[in-house]
Amino acid sequence: MKTLTMRELSRNTASVLDALERGQAFELHRHGRAVGYLTQRPPAPERKPDWQAHFDWLQKQKDKGGGFIEELEQDRRRLRARETAMGSTS
């Protein structure tokens, strides 16, 4: 991968595009720091989490006899009881 400065890109845009068409890749630098890449390949698609599948899995763990959700529910009940007790003493 060749290094390319912003100045080189602005002065030689046509030749850089020709090199890209031939499959050459470039690392683009501005003020001595890499700021991006020029390649023929598009960037990999951003992977987003499938939250519904994750929550479904967690729910199945609860059905198997405990697990993380049960602990969260116990904590929630404990906090609710503490808030109730604190509210009644005020």
pLDDT at position 30: 93
Rounded to an integer, what distance in angstroms lies between the CA atom of residue 58 and that of residue 82?
Answer: 26
Rounded to an integer, what distance in angstroms lies between the CA atom of residue 79 and that of residue 85?
Answer: 10
Q: Domains of the chain by range and CATH? A: 2-38 (3.40.1620), 51-89 (no CATH)
Q: Is there a contact between 70 and 60 (Cβ–Cβ < 8 Å)?
A: no
pLDDT at position 62: 65
pLDDT at position 77: 93
Tell me which residues of the chain have a pLDDT lower than 50.
Answer: none
pLDDT at position 5: 94
Asked whether the whole model's pTM tops 0.85, one would answer: no
pLDDT at position 41: 86
